Amino acid sequence: MRAFLLELSLLGLSLGSTAEPQRISLFDGKSLHGWEGDPEYFRVEENCIVAGRLDRPIRGNQFLVSDQEFHNFDLVFESKLVGKGQNAGVQFWSQRVPNSAEMIGYQCDIGSFKDGFLWGWLYDESRRNRFLATTSQQELSNWVNPKGSWNHMRVLAQKKMLSIWLNNNPTITYEEKDQDIPMYGKFGLQVHGGPPLEAWYRKIEVRLF
């Protein structure tokens, strides 16, 4: 109920409205208003959210977390990676892990690992700790832009169905079978622990259903 009421208040719609939901910006381009995270690792630069830093290794996974929770949504954003590190991601239907910098929930993965690309894969962070859905390396190599270049991402989460797109190409569709997993929660912009890395995020917009 809390997530449903939030959707209505953000959209300014009445219960009887049939208007097409408008996209809502989750980042004002100037500040981290509406988000919380460690200022050592998150800042605003060039109208973008920058997660991480290049002058030292990243101390464990770090997340910039939305103040608000969301239920059914259609999220779009652009991201690029700069530095020696390889991996970041965007959490959704997630929560902070108590007394930890970690989050628990679904993640739209960004970047690469030793065996190839991760862009648009679906990972279950701090819960099942495994990929739930993946795409072939052959397809990703044709779709992903080079490191340091912007990539456009879309995440659609509606009821039990999750879908992700990379540069307008569908990477995964996944149906959650576990009835105990909540289908609501917060967004989180991640920079992965490890070598120096900056994950840049911009044009973060959501449409709610």
* 14-50 pLDDT, tens digit each: 444 556 778 999 999 999 999 999 999 999 999 999 9
The answer to whether the beta carbons of residues 172 and 163 sit under 8 Å apart is yes
The answer to whether the beta carbons of residues 77 and 9 sit under 8 Å apart is no
Q: How far is CA 130 from CA 92, 134, 179, in A?
A: 16, 11, 18
Q: What is the pLDDT of residue 38?
A: 96
pLDDT at 131 exceeding the cut of 80: yes
3-state secondary structure of 189: strand
**Confidence category of residue 4, pLDDT binned at 50, 70, 90:** very low
Residue 167 exposed, middle or buried by CB count within 10 Å (0-12, 13-18, 19+): middle
pLDDT at 13 exceeding the cut of 80: no
Q: What is the pLDDT of residue 68?
A: 97
Q: What is the pTM of this model?
A: 0.90
**Which candidate, 112, 78, 111, 72, places its Cα nearest to that of 92?**
72
Pick one of 2.60.120.560, 3.40.630.30, 3.40.50.720, 3.30.1330.60 as the CATH number of 2-208. Answer: 2.60.120.560
